A and B are shown apart, each in its own frame.
Chain A
Amino acid sequence: MGDMTAALSTAVELIVSLDPHLAEIVGLSLYVSLTAVIISTLIGVPLGAAVSMLRFPGRKSAIIALNALMGLPPVVVGLVVYLALSRSGPLGVFGLLYTPTAMIIAQIILVTPIIAALSRQVITDLWSEYDDQLTSLGSSHSRAIPTLIFDGRFSLLTAVLAGFGRATAEVGAVMMVGGNIDHVTRVMTTAIALEVSKGDLALALALGIILLSISLAIGAAAQIFKDRSELRNSS
């Protein structure tokens, strides 16, 4: 119980004092996760829509694979990316290990299946709703994709937020490929893991509270944006 109250007051203290070290860690977390989510969205949404709308051999397997890949364990992704980027690995010449770029790559692999699988569901549901309309307008399956993505953009936002949540919350992959190097690759989750291992549970929990607040703020901002846009569209 003592840890809990100490954590709360530490969290408030850190935020109020605008601790520069903390700001750096939060900034890097946001940079890595936002970059990964933007790229994952650019890949995942069209991919999900294509799997939903196009008919090709192996489509069923693709759907099953996408759904299964949503549950990729971060530490496995971290290990695979580590082996690939290691100096002894196939991509070692680029020297990307222990850089934010390596962390972004790992998070893209984690997040893209989530966004793709959820997008596929959104698009499939929309299509069953508008099937008759779009077909009567002479739209083919493939040509309906951009319309459906545009129409489903608010539901797709939820898919993107789910991906963002995964990216900011995972620790296994970024720890492995980033190395938790102070001022270089230390993000919120790896900083929390470090403080736990130092036995400073109050500071670790305080960082956790801050991480949660940031996720809440971003979720709230997205919700407000969504509500306003929908309101504007309906009026």
Chain B
Amino acid sequence: MRILASIALVASLMFGGVANASDFITVASTTSTANSGLFDDILPKFTAKTGIEVRVVAVGTGQAIRQAQNGDADVLFVHHRKSEEKFVKLGYGVKRYDVMMNDFIIIGPTADPAGVQSTPNVTEALAAIYKGKANFVSRGDDSGTHKRERGLWEEAKLDPRASGNWYREAGAGMGATLNMAQGMGAYALSDRGTWIAFKNKQGLTIVHEGSKHLANPYGVILVDEKRHPHVKTALGQKFIDWLVSKEGQTAIAAFKLKGEQLFFPTAH
């Protein structure tokens, strides 16, 4: 009897947990937006206004897109334009909206053994690392940052994977990759937001920034209900509308960390 009662109790707990889900949407997004604290800052403002709770699953851009394709998110909020456009073109997403941007930077050991700091542009910077066979940690996880990093090597016409073991693929998020770079005294490509928020910087510094090539635009897309009928279209669109509205854009611009603005609105 006692066993039956405990089964009933457990079952009611389990299904109770599902039943009390109120108005919420699931957003598949990237570690850079979540780890920098942006969402912690702006989402409460949206929830306060609309009563809609936003549940963020923060993974790499590649994984976020796959989750959205599987129908496991209502809204996709990532940063790799080509993949985003493909997502819409294949019929998984309704429309891509520009939301904001920041930029990529190359970080590396303060001693700068490869002499990256004296290079004029990102192509030369990567070439210096390549020539010096200085340790470089790549995300290696098919994230937006990883896709961009591979693109930059291609533009520089270099193949780091073919030339020895100084090029390490971490297969990890931005923060974990920065931790590795810190531990190994290595170079890495990072988005500026994660870098500013990152707390384990000892011995690392920005060695290259400001190239035009390094802009990092973020887009937001509603998952198409034609593909996944359970998608919360109305709530999801409300969230997107708010993000690109004057109010949402102001909230994004107002988010500062250590006195620095991390993301720059691009919706207008």
- Tell me, yes or no, whether B111 is within 8 Å of chain A by CB: no
A95 to B70, CA, bound (A): 12
Does A87 reach chain B (CB closer than 8 Å)? yes
CA A130 to CA B229, docked complex, whole Å:
60
Q: Is B10 in contact with A39, judged by CB distance below 8 angstroms?
A: yes
**Are A96 and B18 CB-contacts (below 8 A) given A35-B10, A196-B175?**
yes
Kindly identify which residue among B57, B71, B176, B182 contacts A180, using a CB–CB cutoff of 8 Å: B57
Q: Say whether B200 contacts A87, CB under 8 Å.
A: no
Residues of B within 8 A of A104 (CB): 14
Do residues A197 and B31 form an inter-chain contact, with CB atoms below 8 A?
A: yes
In the complex, chain B residues whose CB is within 8 Å of the CB of A144: none
When distances are taken between beta carbons in the complex, the residues of chain B under 8 Å from A100 are 17
Number of residues on chain A facing chain B (CB within 8 A): 30
Q: How far is the CA of A188 from the CA of B199 in the complex (A)?
A: 20
Task: Name B residues whose Cβ lies closer than 8 Å to a Cβ of A.
Answer: 3, 6-7, 10, 13-15, 17-18, 21, 26, 31, 35, 40, 55-58, 70-72, 172-176, 178-179, 182, 197-201, 228, 230
| CB-CB nearest 8 A-B residue pairs | A197-B175, A87-B71, A199-B200, A179-B57, A199-B199, A199-B198, A88-B70, A181-B55
* New A-B contacts (6) at CB < 8 Å, excluding given A31-B13, A197-B35, A199-B175: A96-B18, A98-B26, A182-B56, A194-B35, A196-B179, A197-B175
Interface pairs (27), CB distance under 8 Å: A38-B6, A42-B3, A42-B7, A87-B228, A89-B70, A92-B71, A95-B18, A96-B18, A98-B57, A98-B72, A99-B17, A99-B18, A101-B14, A104-B14, A179-B26, A179-B57, A180-B58, A181-B57, A182-B56, A196-B179, A197-B173, A197-B174, A197-B176, A198-B35, A199-B179, A199-B198, A199-B199
